[in-house]
């Protein structure tokens, strides 16, 4: 059952300065990744190096601007590889996923008419709900909500099918739930959307720290993620099909370029954060190289340097192979703790349908009380609804929400044991 790990977790943890933090004389346990992961030193260095050596606005003829633009081009290429896309000009950077989604939703609203319909889901973060709801309202379009199966927190695909119609213009779906960890059948949802003549938008924010986005395999029209969830700085990423990005009426100022990606990157960007994103993708690529090295050792490999995409595929294979047994350990440990109820998929045979983001409730203590007691013991978890308001409401958990334990590839079995021990003590 247990897959052999190709990650040297002890070594990679040393790259993350934050992970050496102590609370009350013991190492802190960072299970807060779904709200933002920690950053490796090279990301921190890339940001400072940009500000120290290349800090310039876009499009100048002088050295720092030329170097800065070269860096931007490189990172657009790396971001395209992360999305599984070929066209670097179709990757857009912005403040965060929410802002980018609002910008896209407003542009799409300008193409809508009263009577058009938009589908959002009860499993999604509000950043993949409210931008579409408000844009539909502006255009006089109707919004329909796809329900979830409450027992395992999966999307109700029959409900989705029943709500699609020739009037549906967009289906917005999450790749993975930031509250209960469910991984959605994105390719199937996008296929259903296209069969109905609708566009599809995939929120890959919670997916990207655990698994590699693949816009081609998903067959989606747009996808978005956030660098600060996968070891980078605060920065949003959006990918879209070229013909749509070129033709949609983006909100932009007149002097700004009408070419891609500029027409969607309004205002001056955080170039230092983009440099940091480049370093985060580089970090992931090197995880892939290290995992691949073990596999190929002794094979007398003389092949060309693999592509960024191939290196990322190797990295995420190694991440999944490490995270899945760790998630299984967490779920089996939680099963033994009296008073704790786990939300979402718990069946060990179905772990491929979830990421190791596990939310729980406690029979006697509020989510806030549990999070506080864990914080006192140096274990960092989030409580509340994490903006996944629809899920929390659908599960009857509002206003208190739940406690979320988010595992990433830098977490360890010992940390899981500490959490289980602490929960048992409550
Ligand atoms: C699943 C999901 N979607 C969207 C967002 C919003 O991302 P951002 O903070 O980049 O706007 C989050 C943030 O937590 C998220 O978890």
pLDDT, one tens digit per residue, over 349-373 is 999 999 999 999 999 999 999 999 9
How high is the pLDDT of residue 3? 45
How high is the pLDDT of residue 293? 82
Any atom of ligand 1 within 6 Å of the Cβ of 203: yes
State the closest ligand 1 atom to the C-alpha of 35, by its place in the atom list counted from 1: 14
* Candidate from 229, 230, 280 with most ligand 1 atoms within 8 A of CB, to mutate: 229
Predicted TM-score of the model (pTM): 0.96
Strand partners, 240: 222
How high is the pLDDT of residue 114? 95
Q: pLDDT tens digit string along 195-223?
A: 999 999 999 999 999 999 999 999 999 99
Pairing outcome for strands 168-174 and 154-155: unpaired
How high is the pLDDT of residue 2? 43
Measure the CA–CA gap between 236 and 175, rounded to whole angstroms: 16
Q: Among positive and negative, which fits the CA dihedral 293, 299, 305, 308? A: negative
What's the whole-number average pLDDT of the chain? 96
Strand partners, 92: 238
- CA–centroid distance, 133 to ligand 1, in Å, is 17
- CA–centroid distance, 205 to ligand 1, in Å, is 6
Any atom of ligand 1 within 6 Å of the Cβ of 357: no
Instruction: For 113-162, give the DSSP string.
Output: -TT-EEEEETTS-GGGTHHHHHHHHHHT-EEEEE-EETTTTEE-HHHHHH
Q: pLDDT tens digit string along 102-118?
A: 999 999 999 999 999 99
Q: Where are the beta strands (DSSP E) in 204-293?
A: 222-226, 236-240
- CA–centroid distance, 4 to ligand 1, in Å, is 31
How high is the pLDDT of residue 8? 96
Any atom of ligand 1 within 6 Å of the Cβ of 125: yes
Measure the CA–CA gap between 272 and 345, rounded to whole angstroms: 39
Q: What are phi and psi of 172, to 5 degrees?
A: -105, 120
Measure the CA–CA gap between 414 and 420, rounded to whole angstroms: 10
The residue contributing the CA closest to ligand 1 atom 13 is 35
SS3 of 357, please? strand
Low-confidence ranges of the chain (pLDDT < 50): 1-3, 298-299
Any atom of ligand 1 within 6 Å of the Cβ of 96: yes
Quick one: angle between helices 413-425 and 308-335, nearest 10?
A: 30
- CA–centroid distance, 146 to ligand 1, in Å, is 19
């Amino acid at each position: 059952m247990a897959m052999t790990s190709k990650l040297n977790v002890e070594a990679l943890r040393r790259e993350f300065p934050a992970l050496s933090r102590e609370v009350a004389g013991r190492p802190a346990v960072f299970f807060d990744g779904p709200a933002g992961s920690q950053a490796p030193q090279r990301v921190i260095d890339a940001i400072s190096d940009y500000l120290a050596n290349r800090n310039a606005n876009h499009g100048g003829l002088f050295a720092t601007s030329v170097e800065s633009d070269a860096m931007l081009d490189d990172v657009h290429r790396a971001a395209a590889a992360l999305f599984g896309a070929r066209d670097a000009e179709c990757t857009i950077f912005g403040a965060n996923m929410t802002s980018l989604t609002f910008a896209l939703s407003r542009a799409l609203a300008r193409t809508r008419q009263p009577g058009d319909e938009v589908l959002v889901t009860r499993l999604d973060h509000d950043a993949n709900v409210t931008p579409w709801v408000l844009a539909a309202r502006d255009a006089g379009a109707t919004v329909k909500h796809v329900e979830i199966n409450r027992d395992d927190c999966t999307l109700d695909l029959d409900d989705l099918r029943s709500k699609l119609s020739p009037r549906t213009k967009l289906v917005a779906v999450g790749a993975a739930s930031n509250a209960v960890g469910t991984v959605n059948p994105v390719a199937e949802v996008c296929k259903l959307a296209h069969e109905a003549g609708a566009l599809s938008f995939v929120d890959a924010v919670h997916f990207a720290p655990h698994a590699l986005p693949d816009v081609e395999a998903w067959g989606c029209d747009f996808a978005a993620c956030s660098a600060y969830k996968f070891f980078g700085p605060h920065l949003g990423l959006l990918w879209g099909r070229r013909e749509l990005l070129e033709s949609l009426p983006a909100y932009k100022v007149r002097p700004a370029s009408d070419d891609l990606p500029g027409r969607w990157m309004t205002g001056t960007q955080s170039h230092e954060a983009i440099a940091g994103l480049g370093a985060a993708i580089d970090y992931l690529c090197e995880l892939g190289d290290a995992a691949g090295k073990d596999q190929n050792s002794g094979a007398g490999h003389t092949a060309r340097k693999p592509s960024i995409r191939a290196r990322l595929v190797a990295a995420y294979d190694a991440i999944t192979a490490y995270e899945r047994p760790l998630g299984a350990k967490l779920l089996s440990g939680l099963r033994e703790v009296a008073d704790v109820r786990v939300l979402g998929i718990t069946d060990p045979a179905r772990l491929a349908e979830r990421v190791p983001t596990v939310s729980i409730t406690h029979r006697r203590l509020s989510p806030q009380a549990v999070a506080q007691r864990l914080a006192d013991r140096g274990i960092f978890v989030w409580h509340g609804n994490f903006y996944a308001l629809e899920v929390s409401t659908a599960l009857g958990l509002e206003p208190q929400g739940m406690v979320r334990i988010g595992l990433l590839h830098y977490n360890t079995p010992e940390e899981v044991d500490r959490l289980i021990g602490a929960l048992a003590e409550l």
